[in-house]
Structure 1
Amino acid sequence: MLLAGGQGERLYPLTRDRAKPAVPFGGIYRIIDFPLSSCLNSGLKKICVLTQYKSYSLDRHLRIGWNINNYELGEFIEGIPPQKRTSDLWYQGTSDAVYQNIYVLERERPEKVLILAGDHIYKMDYRELIEFHESKKADVTVPCIEVPLNEANRFGNVSINNDQKIVDFVEKPDHPQSMPSNPNIALVSMGIYLFNTEVLVKRVIEDAKKDTSHDFGKNVIPSMIHEGRLFAYIFNDKNNKAVKYWRDIGTLDAYWDANMDLIQIDPIFNLYDTSWPIRTYHKQFPPAKTVFSELFPGGKCGTVLNSLVSNGCIVSGAHVERSVISPNVRIENHSEVYDSIIMEGVRVGKNVKIRNTIIDKFVIVPDGKQIGYNPEEDARQFTITEKGIIVVPKMLPLL
């Protein structure tokens, strides 16, 4: 069960018209492609995507990009909005989302249920998680990762014994506990939970009867610490880099940082590993091209440096550097784009200057426009993050 119904308020305005898991990432992908690819690469082919807010583009992406399973063989990826089988309310939390879909579990009768978040970037072989879970005879297994102590208050703080049994779990604590082996590191939950089905059904029913936030991290998992067999699975990263990669890109600055990492010479997250493909839907665009390099002396125009450029793009007498350019983008003569994320269908006119900016789909940037150079002017029109990144909403008519 992949939870994809959150509002994504901290990613606004990118979530103004779409669910957070449907936000584009890395030029050609959507965020949800990464946990779904981990499912596919792990051989898991019975997937329910629990949707809720602004799910149209997410549902469409699942339908045209992930319609790859054979239902006659018991394989499926199904989007499930709130069914209101148990109440007249929408999903009230992660636990409630599963509670409201107990009918699905009754129909499929799985031995185990893997609860995933639809808005994280990582690579995990869930088969190894399942093997660990079975070896420990666990009721619940929580994948965990080590993070700097000063960042741990953003996550569920986990304490374990020598057998990796969870002895304490506190969601987003004010004062996180460090690991005994390193006072500067904390062990935190990745927001993934592997349950034995009987245990899961019992616990979400119990939680539904209580006045809680109906959340796995805040309520269900802490309530089981002294009553069940809970274990922490230390994340084994299939990204195959020196540093483990897992990103909850829940803020605009974190989203920009994660995209900018992809354009580095040796990015932490490897999109080019053929042994672990990331699947998505590709529209039928022609190859990208650059033209009119002779417009500026020294060939500064018609050039792209240290950037990701997707199919269908034309950089026409313009200069792009350290940027992520999504499909079907046009950048016209004498324009310059630096350190930016330009999403699908954007049209950048002539003599435009853009830097430190995220531009959502289908925006038309008129000739001579400057974004990222005048903070006061930008603040009157756009969202500006704590780091000073400008965010231009989808289809906003610029002046």
Structure 2
Amino acid sequence: MKDCIGIINLDEKDYSVKNLINDKTISAMPIAGRYKIIDFILSNLTNSGVECIGIFTRKKSYSVLKHLSNGRPWDLHRKKDGLKVFNYSEYDQVYDDIHSFMDNIEFIKYSRKEYIIMCPSYMICNINYKEVLDKHKKSGDDITIIYKNKNNSDSLSKCEELVLDTNNRVNKIKNLDNSKNNVNINMEMYIMKSSLFINIVRDSITNGMYKKVKEYISDNLYNLKVGTYEFKGYLACVNSINSYYEINRDLLNMKINKELFYNDRPIYTKQKDEAPVYYSKESKVDNCIIANGSYIEGKVENSIIGRKVIIKKGAIVKNSIIMDSVVIEKDAIINNSIIISKSIVNKNIIINGSNDYPKIF
């Protein structure tokens, strides 16, 4: 994988999760207590042997830049290759990534890597890209797109679907058909030669027809050989409040948790110097993930608790996600809810959502 460069394109359509992220990016949202969403794709790339990674994000991306720091947690603090972040483009990645890539095309040219893996941050999985690249090299295809065949659900409603022919090549890329039960989800992960990627960017600039690399590929399926790789592990997509809530609760499933975190490809994150969780004698905890630095005196069930959370005596938290640095005062009751970072839930307050529509506080 030393002949491959990783491009993480933060073209996140975050309008549906604005209530959760405020001025942050989806990639910097907390997940599983102590991780950030971008940790999954970064770990997938580095575990696969990719040593040169470029992250293309928007302006005002302080939260994700602070988390990434110099790339040390992912072994990317290198003099050669390593982690590069491009966040000074005047273009919004959601609507126009072609110009951002063109402005920084020297990064790709002078990396001298033969292949590119382009991927988003919001697809949650644990994947070995080495297997994908090996298949791509043998196939003779121009581009390989990674997909997952799975049952349709509301959490996938904003995803794309791949329509395949009998040779598993891509005939069409379209918005998901909600009437179908079983679909091929486009994981928006593309492998191609660096020279082809550069040509796509230059052609798009020259003819002015495309502002997104994904649009170019989708409209030129008959001019390119676009093959596929089927991913068979756990996949989730963070593209709405409901999907974020569902994914975090999935992580309480031991089988899913082991697949993502405890196989031979661990997920890395930025370490913080915090004390272990404190559990008082009165506390009761059942089936939870609780991050370091938290202080638990109340009752917590089927929930994910972030860093430095205080749950005081008599408080009850069920089926909920509590982000970092939240204080839950005495006798408060929280059920089927998402509590945003640095919130204070006052004494005797009741916050009650539902499985389908979690309450945001």
Q: Is the 8 A contact 2:126 2:259 kept in 1?
A: no
C-alpha distance in 2 between matches for 1:319 and 1:196: 53
The reply to whether residue 304 of structure 1 matches residue 285 of structure 2 is yes
SS of 1:12's equivalent?
helix
C-alpha distance in 2 between matches for 1:150 and 1:22: 24
TM-score normalised by L of structure 1: 0.81
C-alpha distance in 2 between matches for 1:18 and 1:175: 30
Moved over 6 A (4+): 150-153
Q: Is the 8 A contact 1:308 1:323 kept in 2?
A: yes
Residues 288-319 of structure 1: CA deviation (Å, up to 9, x unaligned)? 121132xxxxxxxx111111111111112x11
C-alpha distance in 1 between matches for 2:138 and 2:55: 28
SS of 2:188's equivalent?
coil
How do 1:155-304 residues align onto structure 2 when only pairs under 5 Å count? 155-166=159-170, 168-172=171-175, 184-210=181-207, 212=209, 214-217=211-214, 219-235=215-231, 237=232, 244-267=233-256, 270-293=259-282, 302-304=283-285
**Bigger radius of gyration among the two:** 1
CA drift at 1:14:
1.7
Correspondence for 2:19? 13
SS of 2:49's equivalent?
coil
C-alpha distance in 2 between matches for 1:64 and 1:289: 31
> In the superposition, relative to structure 1, how do residues 315 and 172 fare at CA in structure 2: closer, same or farther (>3 Å)?
same
SS of 2:272's equivalent?
coil
Correspondence for 2:8? 2
- Unmatched 5+ stretches in structure 1: 179-183, 238-243, 294-301, 374-384, 393-399
Q: Is the 8 A contact 1:64 1:281 kept in 2?
A: no
CA drift at 1:212:
4.7
CA drift at 1:8:
1.3
Residues 326-350 of structure 1: CA deviation (Å, up to 9, x unaligned)? 1111111111111111111111111
> In the superposition, relative to structure 1, how do residues 165 and 271 fare at CA in structure 2: closer, same or farther (>3 Å)?
closer
C-alpha distance in 1 between matches for 2:131 and 2:195: 21
TM-score normalised by L of structure 2: 0.89
C-alpha distance in 1 between matches for 2:260 and 2:228: 28
Correspondence for 2:44? 38
Correspondence for 2:4? none
CA drift at 1:366:
1.7
> In the superposition, relative to structure 1, how do residues 29 and 65 fare at CA in structure 2: closer, same or farther (>3 Å)?
farther
Residues 220-265 of structure 1: CA deviation (Å, up to 9, x unaligned)? 1123212122111111x4xxxxxx3111111111100111111235
Correspondence for 1:355? 335
Q: Is the 8 A contact 1:245 1:269 kept in 2?
A: no
The reply to whether residue 134 of structure 1 matches residue 137 of structure 2 is yes
One-letter amino acid of the counterpart of residue 163, structure 2: S
Larger RCO (CA within 8 A; separation ≥ 6): 2
C-alpha distance in 2 between matches for 1:108 and 1:146: 34
Q: Is the 8 A contact 1:224 1:230 kept in 2?
A: no
How do 1:374-393 residues align onto structure 2 when only pairs under 5 Å count? 387-392=356-361
> In the superposition, relative to structure 1, how do residues 391 and 66 fare at CA in structure 2: closer, same or farther (>3 Å)?
farther
- Unmatched 5+ stretches in structure 2: 1-6
Correspondence for 2:105? 102
Correspondence for 1:55? 61
CA RMSD of superposed structures (Å): 2.4
Q: Is the 8 A contact 2:159 2:175 kept in 1?
A: yes
Residues 142-188 of structure 1: CA deviation (Å, up to 9, x unaligned)? 1111133677764333233343332x122315588x7xxxxx53323
Q: Is the 8 A contact 1:325 1:343 kept in 2?
A: yes
Correspondence for 1:395? none
Correspondence for 2:78? 71
Name the % identity: 22
CA drift at 1:15:
2.1
Q: Is the 8 A contact 2:146 2:190 kept in 1?
A: yes
Further displaced range: 126-135 or 155-164: 155-164
C-alpha distance in 1 between matches for 2:254 and 2:148: 25
